[in-house]
Structure 1
């Protein structure tokens, strides 16, 4: 603190010195206040870090890896890029191979027939080139005597996207036109769209909804997939499709509701 004797100073100077002392006191008070706020902020940061760690642990328990082989890139995200390497097992048997056990070897539970059960089979015949159908011993043309099964392959064809342009055909009665000079015209009716003023086909909406609700693929990932296929299908458009198409499920909902209310006991999972 200043210990100046202001009694012998001019009034203007004395007043100025007093104002400086008051300002210094205010600065000291402000400094103390800032120090208190700093300590409070540090406590809040420690609390936030603790809560964040608890949240990370909770996410791991709910959505984390089910195997120790799958590693985390960081504390919150699984390493999806190395999923194939982490989950691979060279000893895993192909369908139809034998699975060794202690006492004996037995067939694997799933065979090739079980794997392809219910699937369409297309036959691919590997023919000899025409120039190789000549006998190497005498030079005569060889005769086909049969074929031998070699192997089966499981083929997956990605989703195919194309546009159907509907045209309504028009017809007129030439006889009426010749007799009366007026034409009787009829025009065919196009199928009713699943949604008015929309390019969505029923199969397209069904695919989007199946991917979202059954397979758990969110709309933003579907948007990225279709972009890779050259289709500019935005997530908000697909969201509109899902919402507007919900009306088609109202009869099913009402039927399920009536069936539910007829039951004597109803179990509810409130988790």
Structure 2
């Protein structure tokens, strides 16, 4: 009886070993497949980086067609005009007359001649009372806020906005 129990354990261990071997084989195949994918992605990344480098050089690199890296023994096909040109025929300096730019129009110039409408935004009655002593505040002036150009077909007018300023009058 003891030998049969050992035989059963031995068979279970053999089954476990065979299962582990198949798992190892599957894992090995998976690792190989993943390495291939990584190699493909790496080569694709290198190709994309080369494209980025090339396009960056084209976009931000020097734009002159003149090349300074002449190859020894190689003829330059595009220098024929300069080589065969007679130096005595060189012209003097070319003078280009300077030009003047128009000044940008300022707001004052744009609004010149337009009717100006003044809009005063009053402080609400409840805000005209001093929060400390409760007395009525006194109007002392206006503060310029903004200017708008209002377009009404066939007419234009300038609207200037002012806000009123108050101070505490405790002279009583």
* Larger relative contact order, structure 1 or 2 (CA cutoff 8 Å, min sep 6): 2
Is TM > 0.5 for Structure 1 vs Structure 2? no
TM-score (norm 1): 0.25
Q: Kindly indicate which of the two structures has a greater share of residues assigned to strand.
A: 2
